């Protein structure tokens, strides 16, 4: 789990008509086995959802994204 994910930690490049997404800046990451992993993942999703809401007026359901990622 990244632990500090925001729009500043996501890079998107285009090469030969293909989009490549990179997530950078991992010093605060934690293992999925950590007791803090679930809360950190939820916060990461909330941070990105907030950015898309603010920047693109896109409504993101944090719970749906969380369930998709965790398979729950």
Task: Give the catalytic positions in this structure.
Answer: 4
* Burial category of 49 from C-beta neighbours within 10 Å (exposed 0-12, middle 13-18, buried 19 and up): middle
SS3 62: helix
Tokens of 68: 């998709």
Dihedral pair phi/psi, residue 22, rounded to 5°:
-125, 135
């Amino acid at each position: 789990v990244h632990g500090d994910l925001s729009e500043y930690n996501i890079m998107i490049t285009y090469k030969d008509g293909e989009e490549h997404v990179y997530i950078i800046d991992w010093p605060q990451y934690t293992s999925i086995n950590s007791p803090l992993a679930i809360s950190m993942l939820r916060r990461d999703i909330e941070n990105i959802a907030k950015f898309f809401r603010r920047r693109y007026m896109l409504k993101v359901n944090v719970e749906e994204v969380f369930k998709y990622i965790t398979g729950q």
